[in-house]
C-alpha cells in the first residue's frame, strides 16, 4: 500500500528539528536509491531528533519518519516492528486529523496499513478495530468527495479485508454488509475509470468473496447471481492470461459453487451446462494427474450429497433431477472419452447413490421408473466396460428386486415379463459364473410361481423344470450351499404339487422325495433355523399325502407319522394356529386309516384317540364337531365292511374292536 507523506511544519529554530529534517531527507534519498540499510540508519536518527524537538510542527515530520521506517522494516521482513511504527503513526494522525481534516486520508492509509500487517501476522482480531477506523475515515472523505477514485479504492480495500475477517470469525451478516458496500464502491471505481484493469479485477475479487459468503450462508438465490457474475468476469480475465494458475483455481471454486447453487435452486438445465463447463475447465490440466481425478470426483460427490439431503427431506423429485443432471453430464464426458477410468468410476458411484432411492417409500409408478432408469444405466455401463462382470451381476439383482417389487405391488403381468427377460439378459454367463446361474434359477422359479398364482399351471411346469435343472448344476459344484438347497427344494416342491394335481403321481413322488432330501440337508446345515424345519415338514406332509392318495399305505404310514409328529411340535410352540391344527388333523386322519389298512390296530387305536382329542381344539360349532367325529367312525366302518367282503374277518373284528374301544373311552 502506498504511503503519502504530508509536510506541515514551520522552520524550526532548534538544532534537533533541523537535524531531524536533514536526516529524513537524506534517508528518503537513500531509500529511493534502494540503499535500505543506510536509509534506515538515517531515518532512525531522524526519529530520535524529531522526538527531541519541541516545535509544534514536529508531529507531522515524526509521522512521516515513522511510516518511512515502517516501510523499510516491512520490506526487510521485520513485520512486528513495522506494525509498531505504523500503529504509532496512525495514533498520532488521529489527533492531527481531528484538528486538521486534511490529515484524514493519511490517517485512513496508516490505519489500513497497520490492520493489513496484523492480518498477515495472524492477528486478525486485533486488526478489526484498525480496519473499522479506516473505513470510518474513508466514509468522511467520501461524504465530501464521493467521486474521488483514491478514496473509493482505499475504502474498497479496507471494507473487503474487514469483511473477510468478519466472515472467518463467523460474523456473516456484518461481513455480508461490508462486502456489499465494498462491491458498490468498486463498481463506482470501474465507472470512474473503465480502462483501468486493476479496478475491474478488484471489483471481481469482491464479487467473488461476496458470492462465496452467500453460498456458505445458504442464501442460494443471491449466491447464484453473484457466483455467475464473478465467474463470467474471471473467464474474461483468463482469456487474456490463460496460464494464471491462481485465476484458474479461483474460477474453479466459483464454478463448482455455482453448479451446486443452481441445483439447490432447482435450475437443473443451467446446472448441466455449467457442470460440463466445469469439467472442461478442469480437463485443461493433465487428465491423468491425481488432482484431476480427485477434483472431478469431488464435484460429483458434492452433487451426490445434495441428492441425499433432498432424499432425506423427502424431496424425491429434486433428488431424481440432481441424479439425472449428474448422469447426463457424465455420459457426455464418456462420449468424448469412452475408455476413461476416471469417468467410468464416477459413473459407477453415481449409480450406487441412485440405488438409495429404491429403499425409500414412494409411489409405485415412481419406484418402477427408478428401477427402469437404474437397469438401463447399468446396461450402458456394461456396454462401455464389458469386462466388468459386476455390472451384469448388478443388473441381474435389479431384475430380481424389481420383479419382487412388482409382485408385491400387484403388478403380476409386469412381474412375469420381468422374470421372462432376466434369463435373456444373463445369457451364457450362467454357464461361466455361478452367481448368474443362481439368478437364472431364481428368475425361472419366480416366473413359474406367478403363473401358478394366475392359474396358468401347465405353462408354469417348464419354468420350474428349468429352475430345477439350474439348481442341479449349482449343487453339483457346491452341494453344501444352503441357498442352493433352499431354492431347489422350493422349486421341486412346487413342481411336484403341480404334477400331482395333473395326475403324474410317479414323477411328483420323485420330485417330492428329492425336495425332502434337500430340505433335510438344510436342517442339518442349520438345525436352529425354524424356517428350514417348517419347510422340511411341509414337503414331508405333501409327500405323505401323495403316497396315501396313491394307495402306498406302508410308505404313507411312515411319512404321515413323521409329518404329524413334527406338526405336533410346532403346535406346542403355537397352539392358537388354526391352520396348523387343520393340517395336523388331515395328517392324523390319514395316518389312522393307513395304520388300519396295514393292520397296525394297536397303533391305530392310540392315533384314533389322539385324533378325537384334537377335534374339539378346532374352532367350529358342535354340529361340525359331531359331523367330523361321526365321519371318522363311518370311514372305519366302511373299511371293516371291505375287509369282511374280502373274507378277512380277523381284520374286520380288529377294526370293530378299535372303534368300540375308542368310543367307550369317549363315553367315559
End-to-end CA distance of the chain: 118
Asked whether residue 259 falls in the same domain as residue 276, the answer is no
Q: Which residue, 437, 441, 380, 447, is CA-closest to 407?
A: 447
Q: What is the pTM of this model?
A: 0.56
User: Could you give the CA distance from residue 31 to residue 76 in angstroms, rounded to a whole number?
Assistant: 13
Asked whether residue 165 falls in the same domain as residue 198, the answer is yes
Q: Where are the beta strands (DSSP E) in 161-266?
A: none
- Whether 541 maps to a domain, the answer reads no
DSSP conformation class of 33: T
- Whether 644 maps to a domain, the answer reads no
Q: What is the four-CA torsion angle of 198, 203, 205, 209, rounded to 10 degrees?
A: 160
Q: By CB neighbour count within 10 A (0-12 exposed, 13-18 middle, 19+ buried), where does 576 fall?
A: exposed
The whole-number pLDDT of residue 214 equals 94
The whole-number pLDDT of residue 222 equals 93
Domain boundary among 89, 105, 121: 105
- Whether 60 maps to a domain, the answer reads yes
- Whether 427 maps to a domain, the answer reads no
Asked whether residue 90 falls in the same domain as residue 190, the answer is no
Q: Which residue, 266, 192, 269, 262, is CA-closest to 226?
A: 262
- Whether 576 maps to a domain, the answer reads no
- Whether 63 maps to a domain, the answer reads yes
Asked whether residue 54 falls in the same domain as residue 159, the answer is no
Name the domain count of the chain: 3
**Cell numbers standing for residue 507:** 414323477
User: Could you give the CA distance from residue 225 to residue 223 in angstroms, rounded to a whole number?
Assistant: 6
Judge contact between 225 and 261, C-beta under 8 A: no
User: Could you give the CA distance from residue 493 to residue 224 in angstroms, rounded to a whole number?
Assistant: 63
Asked whether residue 259 falls in the same domain as residue 152, the answer is yes
Domain boundaries, position 332: 268-283+291-337
The whole-number pLDDT of residue 182 equals 93
**Cell numbers standing for residue 550:** 396313491
User: Could you give the CA distance from residue 493 to residue 567 in angstroms, rounded to a whole number?
Assistant: 18
- Whether 428 maps to a domain, the answer reads no
Q: Which residue, 192, 167, 191, is CA-closest to 179?
A: 167
Asked whether residue 92 falls in the same domain as residue 70, the answer is yes
The whole-number pLDDT of residue 627 equals 64
Asked whether residue 151 falls in the same domain as residue 257, the answer is yes
The whole-number pLDDT of residue 545 equals 93
Asked whether residue 200 falls in the same domain as residue 259, the answer is yes
Asked whether residue 75 falls in the same domain as residue 153, the answer is no
- Whether 567 maps to a domain, the answer reads no
User: Could you give the CA distance from residue 451 to residue 462 in angstroms, rounded to a whole number?
Assistant: 11
**Nearest-5° Cα angle at 460, 590 to 393:** 120
Judge contact between 465 and 511, C-beta under 8 A: no
Asked whether residue 314 falls in the same domain as residue 217, the answer is no
Domain boundary among 74, 105, 136: 105
The series of mean pLDDT values per 10 residues for the chain, 668 residues long, is 45 58 77 78 74 61 73 74 74 66 76 84 88 89 89 91 93 94 91 85 91 93 92 84 80 88 87 82 58 76 82 85 86 83 87 85 85 88 83 81 82 78 55 64 84 87 89 89 89 93 94 92 84 89 93 92 87 80 85 84 75 60 58 73 80 77 72
Residues 6+ apart with CB under 8 A from 408: none
CATH of the domain at 259: 1.25.40.10
Asked whether residue 22 falls in the same domain as residue 100, the answer is yes
Asked whether residue 156 falls in the same domain as residue 250, the answer is yes
Amino acid at each position: 500500500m502506498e504511503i503519502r507523506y504530508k509536510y506541515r511544519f514551520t522552520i524550526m529554530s532548534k538544532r534537533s528539528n533541523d537535524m531531524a529534517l536533514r536526516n529524513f531527507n537524506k534517508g528518503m534519498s537513500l531509500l529511493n536509491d534502494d540503499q535500505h540499510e543506510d536509509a534506515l540508519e538515517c531515518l532512525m536518527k531522524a526519529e530520535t531528533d524529531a522526538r527531541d524537538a519541541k516545535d509544534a510542527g514536529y508531529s507531522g515530520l515524526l509521522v512521516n519518519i515513522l511510516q518511512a521506517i515502517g516501510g523499510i522494516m516491512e520490506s526487510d521482513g521485520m513485520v512486528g516492528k513495522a506494525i509498531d511504527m505504523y500503529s504509532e503513526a496512525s495514533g498520532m494522525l488521529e489527533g492531527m486529523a481531528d484538528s486538521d481534516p486534511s490529515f484524514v486520508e493519511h490517517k485512513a492509509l496508516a490505519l489500513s496499513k497497520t490492520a493489513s500487517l496484523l492480518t498477515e501476522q495472524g492477528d486478525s482480531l486485533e486488526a478489526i478495530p484498525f480496519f473499522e477506523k479506516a473505513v470510518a475515515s474513508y466514509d468522511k472523505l467520501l461524504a465530501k468527495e464521493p467521486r474521488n477514485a483514491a478514496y473509493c479504492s482505499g475504502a474498497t480495500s479496507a471494507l473487503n479485508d474487514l469483511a473477510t475477517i468478519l466472515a472467518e470469525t463467523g460474523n456473516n451478516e456484518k461481513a455480508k454488509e461490508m462486502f456489499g458496500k465494498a462491491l458498490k464502491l468498486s463498481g463506482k471505481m470501474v465507472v470512474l475509470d473503465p480502462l483501468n484493469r486493476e479496478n475491474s479485477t478488484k471489483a471481481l475479487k469482491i464479487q467473488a468473496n461476496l458470492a462465496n459468503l452467500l453460498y456458505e450462508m445458504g442464501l442460494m438465490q443471491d449466491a447464484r447471481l453473484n457466483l455467475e457474475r464473478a465467474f463470467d468476469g474471471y473467464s474474461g480475465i483468463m482469456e487474456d492470461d490463460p496460464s494464471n494458475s491462481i485465476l484458474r483455481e479461483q474460477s474453479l471454486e466459483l464454478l463448482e459453487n455455482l453448479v451446486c447453487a443452481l441445483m439447490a435452486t432447482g435450475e437443473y438445465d443451467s446446472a448441466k451446462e455449467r457442470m460440463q463447463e466445469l469439467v472442461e475447465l478442469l480437463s485443461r490440466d493433465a487428465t491423468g494427474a491425481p488432482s484431476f481425478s480427485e477434483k472431478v470426483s469431488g464435484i460429483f460427490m458434492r452433487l451426490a450429497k445434495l441428492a441425499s439431503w433432498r432424499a432425506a427431506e423427502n424431496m424425491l423429485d429434486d433428488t431424481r433431477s440432481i441424479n439425472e443432471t449428474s448422469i447426463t453430464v457424465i455420459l457426455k464426458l464418456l462420449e468424448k472419452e469412452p475408455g476413461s477410468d476416471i469417468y467410468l468410476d464416477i459413473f459407477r458411484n453415481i449409480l450406487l447413490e441412485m440405488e438409495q432411492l429404491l429403499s425409500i417409500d414412494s409411489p409405485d409408478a415412481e419406484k418402477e421408473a427408478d428401477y427402469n432408469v437404474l437397469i438401463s444405466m447399468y446396461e450402458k455401463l456394461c456396454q462401455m466396460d464389458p469386462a466388468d462382470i459386476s455390472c451384469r451381476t448388478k443388473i441381474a439383482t435389479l431384475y430380481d428386486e424389481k420383479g419382487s417389487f412388482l409382485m408385491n405391488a400387484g403388478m403380476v403381468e409386469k412381474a412375469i415379463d420381468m422374470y421372462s427377460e432376466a434369463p435373456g439378459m444373463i445369457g451364457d454367463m450362467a454357464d461361466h459364473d455361478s452367481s448368474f446361474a443362481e439368478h437364472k434359477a431364481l428368475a425361472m422359479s419366480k416366473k413359474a410361481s406367478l403363473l401358478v398364482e394366475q392359474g396358468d399351471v401347465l405353462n408354469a411346469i417348464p419354468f420350474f423344470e428349468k429352475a430345477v435343472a439350474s439348481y442341479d448344476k449349482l449343487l453339483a459344484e457346491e452341494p453344501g450351499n444352503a441357498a442352493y438347497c433352499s431354492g431347489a427344494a422350493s422349486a421341486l416342491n412346487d413342481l411336484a404339487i403341480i404334477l400331482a394335481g395333473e395326475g403324474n403321481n410317479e414323477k411328483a413322488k420323485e420330485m417330492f422325495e428329492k425336495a425332502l432330501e434337500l430340505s433335510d440337508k438344510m436342517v442339518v446345515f442349520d438345525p436352529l433355523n425354524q424356517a428350514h424345519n417348517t419347510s422340511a415338514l411341509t414337503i414331508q406332509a405333501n409327500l405323505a399325502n401323495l403316497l396315501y392318495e396313491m394307495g402306498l399305505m406302508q410308505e404313507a404310514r411312515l411319512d404321515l407319522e413323521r409329518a404329524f409328529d413334527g406338526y405336533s411340535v410346532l403346535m406346542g410352540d403355537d397352539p392358537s394356529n388354526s391352520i396348523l391344527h387343520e393340517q395336523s388333523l388331515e395328517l392324523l386322519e390319514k395316518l389312522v386309516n393307513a395304520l388300519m389298512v396295514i393292520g397296525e390296530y394297536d397303533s391305530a387305536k392310540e392315533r384314533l384317540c389322539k385324533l378325537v382329542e384334537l377335534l374339539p381344539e378346532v374352532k367350529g360349532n358342535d354340529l361340525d364337531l359331531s359331523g367330523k367325529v361321526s365321519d371318522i367312525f363311518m370311514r372305519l366302518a366302511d373299511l371293516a365292511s371291505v375287509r369282511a367282503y374280502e373274507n378277512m374277518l380277523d381284520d374286520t373284528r380288529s377294526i370293530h374292536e378299535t372303534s368300540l374301544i375308542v368310543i367307550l373311552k369317549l363315553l367315559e
